[in-house]
Amino acid sequence: MSSPVRHYVGGRFDASGVPFPLIDPVFGRPAGELPAAPRELVDRAVRAARDALRGPWASWSPAERSRMLHRIADGIEQRFEEFVAAECADTGKPRDLASTIDIPRAIANFRSYADLTAGRSEQSWHTTTPDGRGALNYTVHKPLGVVAVISPWNLPLLLLTWKVAPALAMGNTVVAKPSELTPGTACLLAEVMAEAELPAGVFNLVHGGGADAAGQWLTEHPGIDAIAFTGESRTGGTIMRAAAARLAPVSFELGGKNAALVFADADLEQAVAGTLRSAFTHSGQVCLCTERVYVERPVFDAFAQGLAAGAKELSGYGPMISAAHRDKVLRYIDRAAADGDVLAGGGVPRFSDGRDGGFWVEPTVLTGLPEDHPAVREEIFGPVVHVAPFDTEEEALGLVNASPYGLAATVWTGDVSRAHRVAPALDVGIAWVNTWNLRDLRTPFGGVKASGIGREGGDHSLDFFSEPMNVCVKL
């Protein structure tokens, strides 16, 4: 890693803490060390954020905060190649993915919230009163306070900035903890914050694990006023219990077992190509990736064969994030192979070079498993997709909605009436029709059931990161 991994607390960089090894997922070899923050440093970060909340930052206008967010975006742009290199080094993802999605989207996160907060207006009402003189009611949005932002390893910078940008836009201060597996771009972001002259303590960064470490100490801390988290559903439950003790608000984007529906009237070539992308982007390590595909029976064989052929031809994909995660994915595949059919993949690719020491899994297409099978029911978060047939629209909806998760789904159909009928009937937070992962940052994003609480994006994020207050003035 080009830059050392450091904490950033109260405007100063700090390397204290017990070293934690960083492993390159491409080659499976040591790639550096991360200092795991001691509890004292987490306490200091929360205090620094609290002090900054009462300092000059409190008097900044929305326009001033907007200009700061644009300066931060400028700083990322100026160091674009450094961010791309750090993202690739940490995650093993292909450069074209990091350079066209992750880093540009991080820049867009700051710019979009800069523009939204600068142009946002408050509501007001003229209220009649018995004496006829009336009253004026108007709203004021105040910051929640000190916000803990905990982000995952799969899209490290994109998902970190997706929360930090709106939190800062609304005048909060932040203590961020990225995944201990992927700290690089968060460290560069702290450097950009310092270069942009963001007031000390407004943004703080601590590194470390979750349980009995920085993550737990942060979410349980009495000085944290709100928590924004993206990650595993089970971890979200643990954080929610910690937040409940002090009634702290939470925003959760959690796991998914996302489905695609392919109807017989769909453009089959387009559906296959779209599903290859939705199932295997970043080797399936994206919360929105498709893990279940239900295909109308008349086109099931053709679709399954096309998907399997496409999976076998894929190249340029990346590894799993760690040996432990690779082994978890392979356990699901091994059990599925014993109980169903493997149409493509199912093992570990061989490169005959240093990559053979890394954490790779082949793009895998499964079929023939019952709906209660772990590979169909549970989130795998790898390059694994199961394909099954359906006969009626009602059956298809039942199969998709039976999942305990409800993040996203995709509908492939040539019937516009069916598209408008089926998509709203899906128990998910976002449904795409004849596309996948097409995003407008102003729209609500989030899941239902075990896939999350609340919505992010546009005004939805700004609303979460602020407390609306009503002022009533008798005229």
The DSSP-derived string for 145-179 is -EEEEE--SSSHHHHHHHHHHHHHHTT-EEEEE--
Residue 51 pLDDT: 98
Q: Are the beta carbons of 412 and 266 closer than 8 angstroms?
A: yes
- Under DSSP, the state recorded for 424 is G
Does domain 258-440 bear CATH number 3.40.309.10?
A: yes
Is there a shared CATH topology between the 7-254+451-474 domain and the 258-440 domain?
A: no
Active site residue 253: yes
Residue 227 pLDDT: 98
CA distance 142 to 2: 39
Residue 2 pLDDT: 57
pLDDT over 80 at 75, yes or no: yes
Among 253, 291, 362, 379, which one carries the catalytic annotation?
253
- pLDDT tens column, 132-187: 999 999 999 999 999 999 999 999 999 999 999 999 999 999 999 999 999 999 99
Active site residue 289: no
Q: Are the beta carbons of 414 and 218 closer than 8 angstroms?
A: no
- The average pLDDT across 356-375 equals 98
- pLDDT tens column, 290-340: 999 999 999 999 999 999 999 999 999 999 999 999 999 999 999 999 999
Under DSSP, is residue 227 helix (H, G, I), strand (E, B) or coil? strand
- pLDDT tens column, 83-129: 999 999 999 999 999 999 999 999 999 999 999 999 899 999 999 99
- pLDDT tens column, 400-432: 999 999 999 999 999 999 999 999 999 999 999
Q: Strand runs (DSSP E) across 201-353, as ranges?
A: 203-205, 226-230, 250-253, 258-262, 290-296, 341-344
Distances (CA, A) of 291 to 25, 115, 280, 367: 22, 36, 9, 12
CA distance 185 to 120: 30
Among 87, 287, 289, 362, which one carries the catalytic annotation?
287
- Name the residue ranges covered by the structural domains of the chain: 7-254+451-474, 258-440
pLDDT over 50 at 1, yes or no: no
Order of strands, sheet of 7-9, starting from the edge strand that comes earlier in the sequence: 12-14, 7-9, 203-205, 173-177, 146-150, 226-230, 250-253, 452-453
Kindly report the average pLDDT of the chain as a whole number.
97
pLDDT over 70 at 277, yes or no: yes
Please report, as a single letter, which amino acid is at residue 31: A
Residue 389 pLDDT: 98
Look at residues 205, 271, 35 and name the one whose alpha carbon lies nearest to residue 279: 271
CB neighbour list of residue 275: distance below 8 Å, 6 or more residues apart: 260, 262, 290, 293, 307, 385, 410, 412, 436
- pLDDT tens column, 224-271: 999 999 999 999 999 999 999 999 999 999 999 999 999 999 999 999
Look at residues 43, 251, 37 and name the one whose alpha carbon lies nearest to residue 163: 251
For domain 7-254+451-474, which CATH number applies: 3.40.190.10, 3.30.1330.30, 3.10.20.30, 3.40.605.10?
A: 3.40.605.10
Residue 460 pLDDT: 96
- pLDDT tens column, 57-71: 999 999 999 999 999
Q: H helices of 196-245, where?
A: 214-219, 233-244
